[in-house]
């Protein structure tokens, strides 16, 4: 099975790559730096180049997507566009531009996050992108061709990210990277579609 992981060098991406390693699995890593294939998900051209290089695959996984964190009352429209162009449209463009490269009965798994369900101060833009991705996934699932499935994974803050995000996620019990990676594995190897797997 051939699996492309976009964002593979990140905290969640590394956990997914680690969980998916196996005898019959070929993993191709993608990100802007230090991966098998270079891609910037904010650029359609870059996404097209990535798929041309990678060719057909059984599973497309995205564990990436940036967002601006800051107070709504001070947020500029440009700052809000970070999440729109990266986490929301970047991931959706992976689907739109990548569909022809997914084998019959293959799968797509995107990343959202708990902030869409459990609001935190300074996180509205990220929540917007998360909710948009989840809604897109639920809706797209009923019309994807050739038996292709699509799901998203919504993680809580990972234990591995506590230093980075701990001050934002006050009062949160972090989850294990392995638990998050298993949700991706369930999406890739399971049979469900249109789901949002919450790892809270």
Ligand X SMILES: NC(=O)c1ccc[n+]([C@@H]2O[C@H](COP(=O)([O-])OP(=O)(O)OC[C@H]3O[C@@H](n4cnc5c(N)ncnc54)[C@H](OP(=O)(O)O)[C@@H]3O)[C@@H](O)[C@H]2O)c1
> Among positive and negative, which fits the CA dihedral 126, 129, 135, 141?
negative
Binding test (CB under 6 A) with ligand X, winner from 16, 28, 86, 137: 86
Residues forming a β-bridge with 29: 5
Q: Which residue of 158, 181, 183, 188 would you call a contact of ligand X, by CB under 6 A?
A: 158
* Binding status of residue 167 toward ligand X by CB under 6 A: no
Q: What's the CA gap between 120 and 132, in Å, rounded?
A: 17
Closest CA to 111 of 129, 93, 138: 129
Region binding ligand X by CB under 6 A among candidate stretches 17-25, 52-60, 62-70, 141-149: 62-70
- Secondary structure of 30-80 in the HEC alphabet? EECCCCCEECCCCCHHHHHHHHHHHCCEEEEEECCCCCCCCCHHHCCHHHH
Contact criterion met (CB below 8 Å) for 91 and 110: yes
Shortest distance (Å) from residue 86 CB to ligand X: 5
Draw the binding track, 95-124, toward ligand X (x: CB under 6 A; -: no contact): ----------------x-x-----------
Number of amino acids touching ligand X (CB under 6 A): 27
Q: Verify binding: residue 172, ligand X, rule CB under 6 A.
A: no
Q: Is 10 a binder of ligand X (CB under 6 A)? A: yes
Binding site for ligand X (CB under 6 A): 7-13, 31-33, 39-42, 63-66, 86-87, 111, 113, 155, 157-158, 161, 165
């Amino acid at each position: 099975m051939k699996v492309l992981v976009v964002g593979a060098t990140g905290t969640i991406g590394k956990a997914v790559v680690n969980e998916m390693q196996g005898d019959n699995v070929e993993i191709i890593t993608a990100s802007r730096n230090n991966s098998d294939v270079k891609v910037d998900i904010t650029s359609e051209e870059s996404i097209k180049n990535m798929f041309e290089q990678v060719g057909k695959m059984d599973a497309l996984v995205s564990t990436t997507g940036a967002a601006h964190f800051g107070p709504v009352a001070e947020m500029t429209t440009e700052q809000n566009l970070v999440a729109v162009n990266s986490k929301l449209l970047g991931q959706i463009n992976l689907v739109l531009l990548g569909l022809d490269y997914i084998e019959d009965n293959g799968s797509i798994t995107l990343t959202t996050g708990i902030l869409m369900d459990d609001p935190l101060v300074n996180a509205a833009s990220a929540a917007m992108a998360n909710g948009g991705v989840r809604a897109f996934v639920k809706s797209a699932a009923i019309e994807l061709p050739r038996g292709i499935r699509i799901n998203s994974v919504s993680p809580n803050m990972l234990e591995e990210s506590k230093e980075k995000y701990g001050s934002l996620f006050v009062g949160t019990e972090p989850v294990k990277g392995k638990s998050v990676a298993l949700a991706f594995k369930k999406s890739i190897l399971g049979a469900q579609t249109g789901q949002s797997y919450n790892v809270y």
